[in-house]
């Protein structure tokens, strides 16, 4: 799985609140997350899929 480009990481923002996104990488998948909205989106082939249909709500801790 190609990593998310460093330049892209710097310019990406949450599609909901425009806040910063963080990258979370696991063995089988990568996703970007917004701590403010508690949402995540998958990264496929190095491209974040920031569309409503791919959004996942995260549980609040």
Q: Where are the domains of the chain?
A: 6-57
pLDDT tens sequence across 3-37: 777 888 888 999 999 999 999 998 899 999 999 99
H/E stretch holding 46 reads: none
Which of helix, strand or coil describes residue 54? helix
pLDDT exceeds 80 at position 60: no
Is the model's pLDDT at 41 over the cut of 70? Answer: yes
Residue range 6-57 forms a domain whose CATH class is mainly beta
In this predicted structure, the answer to whether residue 2 has a pLDDT above a threshold of 80 is: no
> Residue 52's pLDDT band (boundaries 50, 70, 90)?
very high
Q: What is the pLDDT of residue 1?
A: 57
Task: For CA atoms 56, 36, 26, 15, give the dihedral sign.
Answer: positive
């Amino acid at each position: 799985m190609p990593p998310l480009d460093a330049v892209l990481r710097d310019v990406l923002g949450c599609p909901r609140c425009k806040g910063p996104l963080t990258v979370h990488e696991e063995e089988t998948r990568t996703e970007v997350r917004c701590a403010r909205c508690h949402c995540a989106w998958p990264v496929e082939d190095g491209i974040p899929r920031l569309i409503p249909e791919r959004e996942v709500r995260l549980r609040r801790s």
